[in-house]
Amino acid sequence: MSPDVDCPDTDCVVIGAGFGGIYAIHRLREAGFTVRAFEAGSDVGGVWFWNRYPGARCDVPSLSYQYSFSAELDRDWNWSERFAPQPEIQRYARFVAERLDVLPAITFDTRVTAAAWDEELTGWRVVTDTGTTVTCRYLVSAVGALSAAQTPPFPGLADFAGQALHTSQWPEDGVDLAGRRVAVIGTGSSGIQAVPEIARTAASVTVFQRTANFSLPAQNRPLTDDELRAAEAGYADRRAATFTTRAGHVIPTTGKRILEVSPEERRAELERAWERGGNEFLATFVDTGKDLEANRLLADFVRDKIRSIVSDPVTAEKLTPRDHPIGSKRICVDTAYYEAFNAPHVDVVDLRDEPIETFTATGLRTAAAEYAFDTVVFATGFDALTGALTRIDIRGTGGRSLADEWAPGAQTYLGLAVPGFPNLFTLTGPGSPSVLVTVVIAIEQHVDFVTDHLLHLREHGLTRSEAEPEARDRWTEQVQATTQLTLHRHAPSSWYLGTNVPGKPRLFLPYAGGLDAYRRICDEVAADGYRGFAMTGARAEVAS
Ligand code: N01
C-alpha cells in the first residue's frame, strides 16, 4: 500500500474562487476540514473577475447581490449604486475573502485540468495546468454556472485580421475602442449592456442580432445614505427572506393578476414598475409567468416601449422580440440600450434576414452584404451550467468521464451529485435553482448543505458518499416536471436549454421550483439521513 492510501493530502479541494469558492473554503474550514483551492484567475471573484466588458454590472439589486450569512460583513460593506458595476463587485469578493482570511488557501493562476477518482484512496487526484497533483477526499466544484465562454465556430474566423474579443474574457487592462469600427455579435445580457458603452467612443457599432431579446431599463442610480442605513437595519429581514422566497430575496409585486385588472390599471402599474426599473418589472403581476395570455399583455407593454424609444420604425421592428414569452429566456436589464440605436453610428443587422456566411480578413459577409470592422466583440455567452465542468477531464468510478456521462443531457441528484462520481459536489450545478434565483444565496444554501453532509459523514465514521442512480432519475423527472409549470418551455431556444451550444442536447437544466421549495427538499433529504446518497466507510476502514 502506498503511504497515501487512506490519507489524502487534504480533506477538500475546491475548484474556483468566485462567490462559491470563497464561501465553501470558509465554511469547510470552519467545520474543521482542511481545504486547498485552485483558481484560474489571478484574483478572487470568478465570473466577476473575468467579465470585465464595458458596462458590466449586476442585474439583481446590489443590496440583494451579497452574502447573507454574516451581519458583520453586511454592516461593513456599502454598495455605491443600485446595480453595482463589475469592478465594485470584484472588490466586494476581495473584501469578503480578506475578512474571512481564505486567501492563503487559494492557489491563483492555476487551472484544474483533470480529476480522477481513486477507489483505493477513497478520494480524488486533482491535476492542474501548472503540473501540481493534489489528492483530496472531497472535491467541491465552485466553477460557476456561467463561466465557460462560448464562441460559435463561425466559418473563416481564423482569417479575420482585426481584433477579436469575448465579453467574458475581456483583457484585464481594458481595451480602447475609441474611433474603431466595432461589430458586436449577440444580444443577451452582455451584448445589451456593452453596446451603449462601446457606442460612447467607437466610430461605429454594428450589432449582429440573431434573436431580439426583451430588455428592461435598470434605472440605475447611486444609493442614498438613507437607503444604506435602512438596508443595514433590515439585515435580519433580508436574511429571513433567503429562506422563504422563491428568488432568495423579496421582489415587490402588486399581488394582482394582469388578466383581472382594467387596461388603465394595468398600464399605470406597469408604468410605475418600468420607472422603478430592474427585472422586478416581471413580478408586477402574479400571472404573467404562468399564463401565456397574461404574458402577452406584459410583453406588449415592452414592445410598445421599444417602439416609443427607437425613432426609426424599421430598426425598432428589428429590435422587437416576437418569438418567445417575456421571461422565458433570461431577461436583460440595460442602461440606454434601445436609445443607443437612435445614434447615427449604431445599427442592427438581423441575422434571421441575412445569416452570417463567413468571416473575412476585414469583417464578415452575410447572405445579403459585406461588413467591414476593426474589432469584433463576441457577446455570444456561455456553455452554461455544464461547460465549466465538462471542460475538466473528470473521471469517476471505473474511469468513466463526466463529459460522456452528461453528453445525452446533464442529470444529477439535487444538482449537487452524480452517480459514479463519489465525493464530488457540484455547487450550483445543473438541476439546482442556481441561475434562476439570486445566485449568491443559492451558493450559500449549497455550501451549507455540502458542509453539513460532510459533517454527517465524519460524525458517522463514513468517508464515501455517492448519489444513487434512482435518486438521480427521480430528481431529473422532478426538474423536468417543474419546468412544465413555467413558461420556460415556450422559448424555442435559450442557454437554459443548452441550445446555444452546437451539439448540446436540448434539456432544461436549472430547477425552476424556486429556492424556498428547493431548500425544503434539501432539508428533508438531510433530515432523512441524506436520503439518495449511498454512504460508506473508506475501503481501508471497512477492511479493518
Ligand atoms: O449570453 P447569452 P450573455 N450567431 O447566451 C447570440 C448572465 N449575465 O453573455 O438568442 C449569432 O444570453 C445569442 O443569440 P440567440 C445572465 O444570466 C448577467 O449575454 O441564441 N448569434 C444571444 O443573443 C445572462 O443571461 C449579467 O439566438 C449568436 C447571445 O449571442 C447570462 O449571463 C451580465 C450565436 C448570447 O447571449 C448570459 O449572458 C452578463 C451565433 N452562432 C451576463 N450564438 C448581469 O448580471 C449565440 N448568439 C447583468
The Cα 509–Cα 480 span in angstroms is 8
> Tell me, what's the pLDDT at 7?
84
CA distance 288 to 282: 8
Protein residue whose Cα sits closest to atom 6 of ligand 1: 186
Residues in contact with ligand 1 (CB, 6 Å cut-off): 57-59, 146, 152, 167, 185-191, 193, 210-211, 330, 333, 351, 379-382, 435, 493, 495, 500
Closest ligand 1 atom to Cα of 187: 23
Q: Which atom of ligand 1 is nearest to the CA of 51?
A: 39
Neighbours of 107 (CB within 10 A): 16
- CA of 329 from ligand 1 middle (Å) equals 10
**What is the Cα–Cα distance from 88 to 9, expressed in whole angstroms?**
36
Q: Which of 330, 377, 440, 499 to mutate to test the pocket of ligand 1 (most atoms within 8 A of CB)?
A: 330
How far is CA 194 from each of CA 62, 82, 378, rounded to the nearest angstrom?
19, 18, 11
* C-alpha torsion 220→221→225→226, nearest 10: -60
What residue owns the CA closest to ligand 1's atom 39?
190
Q: What are phi and psi of 62, to 5 degrees?
A: -50, -40
Structural domain boundaries in the chain:
3-148+384-461, 157-378
Q: Which atom of ligand 1 is nearest to the CA of 56?
A: 33
Check whether 541 has a pLDDT greater than 90.
no
pLDDT, averaged across the chain: 96
- Asked whether the predicted pLDDT for residue 358 surpasses 90, the reply is yes
pLDDT of residue 1: 36
Residue 190 Cα: closest atom of ligand 1? 19
Residue of minimum CA distance from atom 25 in ligand 1: 330
Q: Are 235 and 71 in contact (CB under 8 A)?
A: yes
Q: What are the pLDDT digits (tens) for 55-79?
A: 999 999 999 999 999 999 999 999 9
CA of 529 to the centre of ligand 1 (A): 40
For residue range 164-209, list pLDDT tens digits in order. Answer: 999 999 998 999 999 999 999 999 999 999 999 999 999 999 999 9
Statement: residue 31 has pLDDT above 60? yes
CA of 190 to the centre of ligand 1 (A): 6
Centroid of ligand 1 to alpha carbon of 3 (angstroms):
49
Give, for ligand 1, the residue of 19, 53, 146 to mutate: max count of ligand atoms closer than 8 Å to Cβ: 146
pTM for this model (two decimals)? 0.96
Between the CA of 186 and the centroid of ligand 1 the distance, in Å, is 6
Residue range 390-446, pLDDT digits in tens: 999 999 999 999 999 999 999 999 999 999 999 999 999 999 999 999 999 999 999
Instruction: Report which protein residue has its CA nearest ligand 1's atom 16.
Output: 189
Q: How far does the centroid of ligand 1 lie from the alpha carbon of residue 405, in Å? A: 26
Whether residue 244 is predicted with pLDDT greater than 80 in this model: the reply is yes
Whose cell is 481564505? That residue is: 102
Q: Specify the CATH number of the domain 3-148+384-461.
A: 3.50.50.60
Residue 429: the pLDDT is: 98
Q: Residue 3 pLDDT > 90, yes or no?
A: no
Q: In 3D, which of 422, 450, 466 has the Cα closest to residue 28? A: 450
The CB density around residue 95, as the number of other CB atoms within 10 Å, is 14
Comparing C-alpha atoms, which of 93, 111, 95, 78 is closest to residue 48? 93
Using most ligand atoms within 8 A of CB, pick from 348, 500, 506 the residue to mutate for ligand 1: 500
User: Percentage of residues in the chain with pLDDT exceeding 70?
Assistant: 98
Among 106-110, 247-251, 313-317, 336-340, the range scoring the smallest mean pLDDT is 247-251
Q: What is the pLDDT of residue 538?
A: 57
> Span 520-526, mean pLDDT?
98
Dist. CA 424–CA 165, nearest whole Å: 34
- DSSP per-residue string spanning 398-415: GG-BHHHHHTT----BTT
Q: How confident is the model at residue 542 (pLDDT cuts 50, 70, 90)?
A: very low
pLDDT class for 307, splitting at 50, 70, 90?
A: very high
Query: What is the pLDDT, as a whole number, of residue 543?
Result: 31
CA 455, 456, 461, 467 torsion-angle sign: negative
Q: Which atom of ligand 1 is nearest to the CA of 495?
A: 5
